[in-house]
Structure 1
Amino acid sequence: MFVRTVYATGDPALLDSALRALNSQGHDLLEERPGYRGAGVFVDRELGKLLTVSWWESEEAQVNSDEVMRERRPALLEPFAASVAVEHYRVAVFHALPRPVVGGGLRVARLEFDPRDADLLADTFHATALPRLETVPGLARTALLLDHERGRGIAGTVFTDRHTLAASRAALCAIRRSGTAKARATVVALEEFEVVHADAHTM
């Protein structure tokens, strides 16, 4: 599985216009692309941040969709977006529990690591972090996305509601601390978002 993320920032007052466009025209555009396996839309309404994540069954499907989405994205995000960053990742770990996610919260830890340690990071997340994450109340989904060449990654955890997201902060801090130490990775940013939409399916 492969993922494309789009990270946009802008005027919080204009965020809803971008959400309406993404949930209508944007959704239809993605559904038409071969190999599409779902998407997520996440927002920070207070600061004016928008994160979208689209899932693809192969790198070829992701690349083939890039040209179309590159042309249409500016119109979808106007007039909200003042800055837009697009990145591509390979899915190293994806784990979903049968719990609701819409209206919940997403925590994103952005990671940096030596590219030679990519397998170590994936193995550590799967064998060490994941079993501990499953014991945290309210966890609905978790994923590890890696850019092996650049040595960058995203560890995402989705919780069923904002209360359990907030209540999990201490537990996840402990999991990150031990996991990144073992995997020789560094957390370079930590963010939280509201879940607007999430329907990734890996099977």
Structure 2
Amino acid sequence: MFVRTVYATGDPARIDTAIRALNSQGRELLEERPGYRGAGIFVDRALGKLLAVSWWESEEARRNSDEVMRERRGVLLDPFAATTSVENYEATVFHPVRKPEAGGGLRVTRLEFDPADADLLTDTFRASVVPRLESLPGLARTSLLIDRERGRGMVGALFVDRESLAASRGVQAAARHEGAAKAHVTVVGLEEFEVVFTDVRGD
């Protein structure tokens, strides 16, 4: 699958306006597009951060959908968003364990790597990291998203509740250290979000 992420920051007091717009009008627009496989909305209410993720069955479907969404994105995020960035990824690993729930937690690890090591990263994550993560209590799913050309990626670990997210920090830190060393990647960011909505139809 292929993924588009929209990362917005703004006034925490106005974040609910963006959530309502994305969760209604935004989802309706996405669901009308060919090749749509699902979406998620994740927020940090305290800092005023919003991460919207949409999943597509092909790179072409993602690209075609963006022609429509680009025109509407500003309206949907207004008046919350002061900054907005859009990135595209390939989902090289999508590993569901159980159904996620609203109110759960998402941990995002941002990576940089030599583009020549993209396949090494995918193989390492699938063979070494996934087995360690899937045993964590409350894990709903984990995924690896990569941009092969730019050498950037994201690991998502989604938990059914915030308590499981917090309890997993030590184990995932160890897995992150081991995986980064094996795959020759640099961890450049670590964030946690509340799950507002997520529904992805995996393979």
TM band (smaller chain): over 0.9
Code of the aligned partner of 1:107: R
Q: 1:49-88, aligned counterparts within 5 Å?
A: 49-88=49-88
Please tell me whether the aligned partners of residues 100 and 198 of structure 2 are also in contact (alpha carbons under 8 angstroms).
Answer: no
Q: 1:83-98, aligned counterparts within 5 Å?
A: 83-98=83-98
Please tell me whether the aligned partners of residues 101 and 158 of structure 1 are also in contact (alpha carbons under 8 angstroms).
Answer: no
Please identify runs of 4+ aligned residues in structure 1 that moved more than 6 A: none
Alpha-carbon distance in 2 for matches of 1:100, 1:57: 20
The TM-score, its normalising length taken from structure 1, stands at 0.99
Q: Which residue in 2 is equivalent to 1:184?
A: 184
Alignment coverage as a number of residue pairs: 203
The TM-score, its normalising length taken from structure 2, stands at 0.99
Alpha-carbon distance in 2 for matches of 1:200, 1:119: 24
Q: Note the residue ranges of structure 2 that are not aligned, 5 or more in a row.
A: none
Please tell me whether the aligned partners of residues 100 and 141 of structure 2 are also in contact (alpha carbons under 8 angstroms).
Answer: no
Alpha-carbon distance in 2 for matches of 1:18, 1:134: 32
Q: Note the residue ranges of structure 1 that are not aligned, 5 or more in a row.
A: none
Code of the aligned partner of 1:172: Q
Alpha-carbon distance in 1 for matches of 2:52, 2:138: 22
Is 1:10 aligned with 2:10? yes
Deviations 1:155-176, CA, capped at 9 Å, x for gaps: 0000110011001100000000
Q: Which residue in 2 is equivalent to 1:159?
A: 159
Please tell me whether the aligned partners of residues 2 and 59 of structure 1 are also in contact (alpha carbons under 8 angstroms).
Answer: yes
Code of the aligned partner of 1:37: R
Q: Which residue in 2 is equivalent to 1:102?
A: 102
The percentage of counterpart residues that share the same residue type is 69
Q: How much has 1:101 moved relative to structure 2?
A: 2.6
Alpha-carbon distance in 2 for matches of 1:169, 1:198: 22
Code of the aligned partner of 2:23: N
Give the CA RMSD over aligned residues: 0.6
Q: How much has 1:85 moved relative to structure 2?
A: 0.2
Alpha-carbon distance in 2 for matches of 1:202, 1:70: 25
Q: How much has 1:150 moved relative to structure 2?
A: 0.1
Alpha-carbon distance in 1 for matches of 2:84, 2:100: 29
Code of the aligned partner of 2:173: C
Deviations 1:11-51, CA, capped at 9 Å, x for gaps: 00000000110111101000000000000000000000000
Deviations 1:66-104, CA, capped at 9 Å, x for gaps: 111000000000000000000000011001112333210
